[in-house]
């Protein structure tokens, strides 16, 4: 009788282990399928966070340029001049600084006398845009940020919402 109970217990334990193994394998398969969805969702979230930071950076550059212009005979400055003026931090030294996953490009537009009286700034995703990363644009005429999902943004693109 004892050996019969022991054999039954072994069968029950084996059945439980087999069932648990099946559930584990099934869960791992589902997790693998879901992990690509989770990775995509995570990438989208990171792109949106980078874009939000880039928008805030564009607004900070607008303020820095306005401050620079008021103290430099109504002309705007390059990134290096803004860094030297301590209006922007060292990350913005150079002609195309990268911050928050975006490459920033500043274009100064001189008037007839050669003074930089207008500017435009583009912020383009450093990597190929995916999952919500848009190209951004702002100019000296207003602090309105414009966006384009597929190409470099410009004044003709709609303002961000």
The CATH number covering residue 137 comes to: 3.30.540
Q: Alpha-carbon distance 120 to 60, whole Å?
A: 14
- pLDDT for the residue 75: 93
What mean pLDDT, rounded, does the chain reach?
A: 81
The highest-confidence range among 21-35, 80-94, 127-141, by mean pLDDT, is 80-94
Give me the number of domains the chain comprises. 1
Order of strands, edge to edge, in the sheet holding 116-125? 98-99, 102-110, 116-125, 135-139, 142-148
- pLDDT for the residue 33: 47
Asked whether residue 108 is assigned to any structural domain, the reply reads yes
Asked whether residue 29 is assigned to any structural domain, the reply reads no
Asked whether residue 86 is assigned to any structural domain, the reply reads yes
Asked whether residue 59 is assigned to any structural domain, the reply reads yes
Of 25-34, 55-64, 137-146, the one with minimum mean pLDDT is 25-34
- pLDDT for the residue 12: 62
Residue 1 reports pLDDT greater than 70:
no
Q: What is the mean pLDDT of residues 47-56?
A: 88
The confidence band for 40, taking pLDDT boundaries of 50, 70 and 90, is: low
Could you tell me the residue range of the domain that residue 81 belongs to?
45-148
Q: What is the mean pLDDT of residues 104-127?
A: 92
Q: Alpha-carbon distance 88 to 139, whole Å?
A: 17
DSSP 91: G
Asked whether residue 154 is assigned to any structural domain, the reply reads no
Asked whether residue 107 is assigned to any structural domain, the reply reads yes
Q: Alpha-carbon distance 67 to 57, whole Å?
A: 15
Torsion angle (degrees, nearest 10) of CA 48, 50, 69, 115: -90
Asked whether residue 129 is assigned to any structural domain, the reply reads yes
Asked whether residue 122 is assigned to any structural domain, the reply reads yes
Residue 139: CB partners within 8 Å, gap ≥ 6?
A: 118, 119, 120, 121, 155
Task: Give CA separation, 19 vs 8, 11, 14, 15, 75, in Å.
Answer: 16, 12, 8, 6, 75
Residue 118 reports pLDDT greater than 60:
yes
Q: What confidence tens digit (pLDDT) does each residue in 53-91 have? A: 999 999 999 999 999 999 998 899 999 999 999 999 999
């Amino acid at each position: 009788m004892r050996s019969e109970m022991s054999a039954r217990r072994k069968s029950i334990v084996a059945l439980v282990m087999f069932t648990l193994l099946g559930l584990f394998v099934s869960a791992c398969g589902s997790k693998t399928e879901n992990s690509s969805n989770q990775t995509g969702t995570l990438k989208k979230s990171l792109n949106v966070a980078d874009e939000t930071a880039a928008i805030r950076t564009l607004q900070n550059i607008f303020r820095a340029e306005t401050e620079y212009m008021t103290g430099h005979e109504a002309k705007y400055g390059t990134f290096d001049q803004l860094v030297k003026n301590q209006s922007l931090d060292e990350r913005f030294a150079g002609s195309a600084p990268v911050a928050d996953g975006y490459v920033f490009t500043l274009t100064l537009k001189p008037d007839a006398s050669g003074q930089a009286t207008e500017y435009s700034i583009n912020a383009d995703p450093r990597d190929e845009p995916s999952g919500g990363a848009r190209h951004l644009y702002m100019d000296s005429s207003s602090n309105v940020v414009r966006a384009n999902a597929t190409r470099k943004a410009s004044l003709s693109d709609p303002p961000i919402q």
